[in-house]
């Protein structure tokens, strides 16, 4: 029967797996890392809080897609909390951690990744339901969206807790990985392959939806004389979603590949030399998302700017920016979601053609 090591500190596991914990990470180097980490985490907290507040405040965002977008911002906010906890429990401090504290550190990171991933998957389903029915927004009720959001976090918390629940190497020290010295290599293979497969599925789904919207919009626009910006509004919404997905895949894939190589026990891959850079790249995803929201959606940017300026009742609200019009439809008597055909032919999409276009890209 294998001996279990629940009462050991992390230095025991780091020494057993020859894991580099950067003992020299002290002095000026530590100060610089903490300063940059603090700045990025503060930006994550503030910017994602603004996105959530904008969705709550602006009634034009009271649609299933934007509720899920706000939940994605909440996942990024949670990721900021995970990075703060990691920042003060890494480097030479790692060796002094108890097993439970180390599990908490990694569990927070795994939960934030899963929350973002599952949220993007749910958004893909919501987009498929709406676009394939030729609607900008799906008919999901608030109760169903609330249930989906609760389910997302339940799945995320469960996946983050799986190693703590038993899939670890505390009772089989020979199965420990080098990057995560109390995670089983089999779990790292499962975790990384599962996420990479979901990445691939979502990319395929979004490409299919985008091609469908592009083709349908081109067919409809050939029979209308509306402005270019009005005809392309559905396409712009998909571009926003695909930009978010693209950023997520680019930022997280390298780290998942490194975990996969570690799970496969690749001792000659030099994974210890790149792990910190890929973790920083994953952090940047939570920084980039609020920028994507505000850049791609003029209404989102305007709402956030009014909140920053503390003038929620700004009378200049009627002035339209020369930027790309909002991807949200002006709410008409049909609150369940306007049809794309109606939006193009009847001009129900926000604006009346006098809005400028920011390059239509």
CB 218: neighbour CB atoms within 10 A? 12
- Report which DSSP code applies to 316: G
Full set of structural domains in the chain with CATH: 24-221+233-309 (1.20.1070.10)
Radius of gyration of the chain (CA): 23
Q: Which residues contact 124 (CB under 8 A, 6 or more apart)?
A: 202, 205, 206, 209
Phi, psi for residue 130 in degrees, rounded to 5: -85, -50
Name the residue with tokens 């049909």.
334
Where b means 16+ CB within 10 Å and e means fewer, 116-150 reads bbbbbbbbbebbbebbeebbbbbebeeeebeebbe
Residue closest to 64 by CA, chosen among 344, 336, 343 = 336
Contact between 95 and 144 under an 8 Å Cβ cutoff? The reply is: no
Between the CA of residue 134 and those of 139, 145, 231, 251, 337, what are the distances in Å? 12, 20, 13, 32, 10
Q: What is the pLDDT along the chain (361 residues), one digit of tens a residue?
A: 567 878 888 888 888 776 655 555 556 766 777 787 888 889 999 989 999 998 988 888 888 888 998 999 999 999 999 999 988 888 778 888 899 999 999 999 999 999 999 998 888 888 777 776 666 666 778 888 899 999 999 999 999 999 999 899 888 888 888 888 889 999 999 999 999 998 888 888 878 877 777 777 677 666 555 444 444 555 666 677 778 888 888 888 888 888 888 888 877 777 777 777 888 888 888 888 888 877 777 778 888 888 878 644 444 444 444 444 444 434 433 444 444 334 433 333 333 334 334 444 3
Alpha-carbon torsion 82, 12, 19, 263, what sign?
Answer: negative
Q: To which residue do tokens 């995970």 refer?
A: 82
Whole-prediction pTM value? Answer: 0.77
């Amino acid at each position: 029967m294998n001996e279990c090591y629940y009462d050991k500190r992390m230095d025991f596991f780091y020494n057993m797996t020859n894991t580099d914990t950067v003992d020299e990470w002290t002095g000026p180097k530590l100060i610089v890392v903490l300063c940059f980490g603090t700045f990025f985490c503060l930006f994550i907290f503030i910017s994602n809080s603004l996105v959530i507040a904008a969705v709550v405040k602006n009634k034009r965002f009271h649609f299933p897609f934007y509720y899920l977008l706000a939940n994605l911002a909440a996942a990024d906010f949670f990721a900021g909390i995970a990075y703060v906890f990691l920042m003060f429990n890494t480097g030479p401090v790692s060796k002094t951690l108890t097993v439970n504290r180390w599990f908490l550190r990694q569990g927070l990171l795994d939960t934030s990744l899963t929350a973002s991933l599952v949220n993007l998957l749910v958004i893909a389903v919501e987009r498929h339901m709406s676009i394939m029915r030729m609607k900008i927004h799906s008919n999901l009720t608030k109760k169903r969206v609330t249930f989906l959001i609760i389910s997302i976090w339940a799945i995320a918390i469960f996946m983050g807790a799986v190693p703590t629940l038993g899939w670890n190497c505390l009772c089989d020290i020979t199965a420990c990985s080098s990057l995560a010295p109390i995670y089983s290599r089999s779990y790292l293979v499962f975790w990384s392959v599962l996420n990479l497969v979901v990445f691939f599925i979502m990319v395929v789904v979004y490409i299919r939806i985008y091609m469908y919207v592009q083709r349908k919009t081109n067919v409809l626009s050939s029979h209308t004389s509306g402005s270019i910006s009005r005809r392309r509004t559905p396409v712009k919404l998909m571009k926003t979603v695909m930009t978010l997905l693209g950023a997520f895949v680019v930022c997280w894939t390298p780290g998942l590949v490194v975990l996969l190589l570690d799970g496969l026990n690749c001792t000659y891959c030099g994974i210890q030399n790149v792990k910190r850079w890929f973790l920083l790249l994953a952090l940047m995803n939570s920084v980039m998302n609020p920028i994507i929201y505000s850049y791609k959606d003029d209404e989102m940017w305007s709402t956030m700017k009014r909140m920053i300026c503390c003038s929620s009742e700004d009378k200049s609200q009627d002035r339209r920016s020369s930027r790309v019009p909002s991807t949200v439809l002006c709410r008409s008597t049909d609150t369940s979601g306007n049809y794309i055909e109606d939006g193009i032919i009847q001009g129900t999409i926000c604006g009346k053609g006098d809005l400028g276009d920011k390059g239509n890209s």
